[in-house]
Amino acid sequence: MKYILIVPIFITFIGCNPSITKEEFAPQMYVEHPTSILVLPPINKSTAADAKDYYLTTVAEPLTNSGYYVYPIEIVSDVLKQEGLSDTETMLNVPPQKFREFFGADAVMYVTILKWNTSYLIVSGSVTVQIECEIKSTKTGATIWYYNDEISVNTSGDSGNAGGLAGLLIQAATTAIKTAATDYVPVAKDVNTKILLAIPFGKYNKEFNRDMKTKIELKKKSEKK
């Protein structure tokens, strides 16, 4: 009899980590329900020159899988260049409403890569990135989703455990080679996928408008400092 009580209490505690729901994180997204998002080329403030291309070539897949119409990244870059907006900093001065006029987009995503570091740990390689991501409504110009967090992605893959010190050294050596020559595209995709766990599902996802209570591992509300 006692156990009947213990089980529900236990279940309650499992679900009780200090996270917040998607709706608490970005309430305006559920009011506006943008269907289409225009992703602008990111501003790269990191030391990795390649970070911008890594980001841009891997963002469409997770963002469309989240249910949004994403304007074809390559064509957008091309068109912006023709309009004399190849410099991302100058794009920041364009009112978001202009992007509705030109592209018909419901929302614009501004991205700043703050950190893109490759660290060589002894046994495992990893990439640490910090990305600031802001989605603005092209109706009101207001920020409706804001994300700024540090993410670590493991690049060493699954290697078997060779025992002893010799094994450890071999592992360290292979990791260094792997990290140096790694094809970072899958890593970049992981980064983008992790960031977008915090975005409400859009029209083209089956969970559209049903994920308000989904918990995400972020403690802060979606606000720009």
Partner 1 sequence: MKIKFSLLLAIIVMQFIGCKPEAQFFWGNYSKTLYAYKKSPSDKTLADHKKSLTEIISVSLRKRKPVPPGVYAELGFIFEKEGNSKDGMDNFNQEIILYPESKEFIEKLENGFQSGENK
Residues found near partner 1 in the complex (CB under 8 A): 35-36, 50, 53-54, 56-58, 60-61, 64-65, 67-75, 78-79, 82, 102-106, 183, 185, 188-189, 204-206
Q: How far apart are CA 113 and CA 53, in angstroms?
A: 11
Contact by Cβ (8 Å): 87, 124? no
Closest Cα partner for 123 from 170, 89, 86, 87? 170
Nearer residue to partner 1 within complex by CB, 10 or 204 = 204
Least CB distance to partner 1 at residue 123 (A): 27
Nearer to partner 1, 4 or 75 (CB): 75
Please give the Cα distance from 33 to 21 (Å, whole number): 17
Name the phi and psi angles at 19, rounded to 5.
Answer: -105, 175
Beta carbon of residue 220, minimum distance to partner 1 (angstroms, whole number): 28
Cβ 65 to partner 1 shortest distance, Å: 5
Q: Quick one: 17 or 82, whose CB is closer to partner 1?
A: 82
Concatenated DSSP letters of 50-88: THHHHHHHHSHHHHHHTT-EE--HHHHHHHHHHTT--SH
- 115 vs 189, beta carbon nearer partner 1: 189
DSSP character at residue 122: S
CB of 35 to partner 1, least distance (A): 5
Question: How far apart are the C-alpha atoms of 114 and 131, rounded to whole Å?
Answer: 6
CA dist 200 and 195 (Å) reads 12
Q: Shortest gap between Cβ of 219 and partner 1 (angstroms)?
A: 26
Q: Output 30 or 69, the one with its CB closest to partner 1.
A: 69
Shortest distance, CB of residue 186 to partner 1, whole angstroms? 8
CB-wise, 124 or 214, nearer to partner 1? 214
CA–CA separation, 134 and 109 (whole Å): 6
